[in-house]
Amino acid sequence: VPAPGTAGRYAGIEPHPTFQIGGDLRLMYYQPIDSDTLGRDSAFFPMQADLYLAVRPYNPPVQNEGRLTLLLNTGFLGAREEKFDGIADRFFVREYYAMYHDLPYQLYVRAGRFLPAFGWKTDDHTPFVRQGQRILSQTLDHEGQVTGVEVGINPNYVYAHLSVFNSPDLPMTVSNFDSAGVDPFFTVDGAYGTALAAGWRDLAWHAGGSLIYGHQGERDKDGLTIGGYDQIAWSVEWAVNFDVIAGATDLPLTYIGQYVLNHRFPEAGRNTLGLAAMHQVDYLIARGLNALVRYDWADPDAELKFDSVHRVSAGFDWHPYTFAEVDLRYRHNWTNSEERFDSGRDEIVLILHGWY
């Protein structure tokens, strides 16, 4: 039997190489069913092109005694509509951090720029439990990274992640560096926050909870004074793996869900409570081919009527070969019960994804 931590133990894969490089490219075709209703035209465009670099300056041959990894994730950002003045404005830095890890009980600590742990992190960043939840002016995906310190542990089934951070108002792009008075690394008005995620991840089921708190002080922006606020978001997330529960019976069905409460407490004006939920069922048709159905719902302000939004998505994830994915979704959107069967807001999304 090959020794732990050696390439022979992992089918020839070196578990902790000194240097690593990777890439990630996503292309999207977007087709609205009714362009006039949505005010959007069909488009084919690059969503993102990422480059991953990692080096381990401290990389001992023994396992579970600690090693140091330095990581940088940078690349270019695309958009369905032209929103950039030039190629330099598309350049961004998503993550960079130093992480000390490979410790007993999968304990780790990292410092730098990262996305705090909160709920399910989906490959499709459009669920309302992700994209619709703004903490310190940013969504919880894509451009919602923060600068801080995080510690985590995952001894088999139990897991926990705790972070404290300073949050920028704007994504870390070249254009934001050039803007007068804008620092994408740190805000000058004392914005800060903390996040906690913990739970139990079993083979047959998963149950967890997340909390994220943010404080944003009063600030000046474009000649206007914007009031400060505090914000607390709570989340409960779960999953059921029916294939494990069924045992000998072949039932490759998985269900995941999440429910979010997002409280906002401004210094001036009334407090608000936003709600969001996600339910997704996946069925493995064959190796590399997965069918899914997902329902997303959000109510941005629980006190207002007729502001809730709904979406039902159905589609397929196909992996024709290693490091390649074709993701096809049909999304049915509506805002109130009268529009429940109206297809005017529907969309077709095709994503071509390659990585290495």
Place of tokens 């240097």: 19
Q: Which residues pair with 260 in a beta bridge?
A: 235, 276
The 8-class DSSP code of residue 267 comes to S
Kindly indicate the confidence band of residue 183, based on its pLDDT and cuts at 50, 70 and 90: very low
229 pLDDT above the threshold of 90: no
Query: What ranges do the domains of the chain cover?
Result: 53-310+330-335
3-state DSSP assignment of residue 169: coil
pLDDT in tens, 262-273: 999 988 889 999
Instruction: Write down the pLDDT at residue 89.
Output: 65
Contacts of residue 179, Cβ cutoff 8 Å, sequence gap at least 6: 170
Instruction: Write down the pLDDT at residue 177.
Output: 43
3-state DSSP assignment of residue 243: helix
How long, in residues, is the chain?
356
- Element of type H or E holding 101: strand 91-101
Cα dist. 319→74, 251, 283, 305, 315 in Å? 25, 20, 14, 42, 14
Beta-carbon-side half-sphere exposure of residue 150 (alpha carbons within 13 Å): 28
CA distance 229 to 227: 7
Instruction: Write down the pLDDT at residue 41.
Output: 87
- Element of type H or E holding 246: helix 242-246
Higher pLDDT, 185 or 315: 315
Average pLDDT over residues 274-297: 96
- Return phi, psi of residue 29, to 5°: -110, 125
pLDDT in tens, 114-137: 989 999 988 887 899 987 777 766
Of 156, 161, 219, 217, give the one whose Cα is nearest residue 192. 217
Residue 289, number of CB atoms within 10 A of its CB: 14
Instruction: Write down the pLDDT at residue 146.
Output: 85
Q: Which residues pair with 44 in a beta bridge?
A: 29
Instruction: Write down the pLDDT at residue 87.
Output: 60
pLDDT in tens, 135-148: 766 666 656 788 89
Average pLDDT over residues 40-44: 88
Instruction: Write down the pLDDT at residue 189.
Output: 56
pLDDT in tens, 145-156: 888 999 999 998
Locate 291 and state its tokens.
Answer: 């069918």
Considering the chain, what percentage of its residues have pLDDT values greater than 90? 54
pLDDT in tens, 230-239: 999 999 999 9
59 pLDDT above the threshold of 90: yes
CA distance 221 to 200: 43
CATH fold, domain 53-310+330-335, is Porin (2.40.160)
The 8-class DSSP code of residue 67 comes to E
Higher pLDDT, 36 or 280: 280
Q: Contact at 8 Å (CB) between 114 and 124? A: no
Average pLDDT over residues 168-194: 54
184 pLDDT above the threshold of 50: no
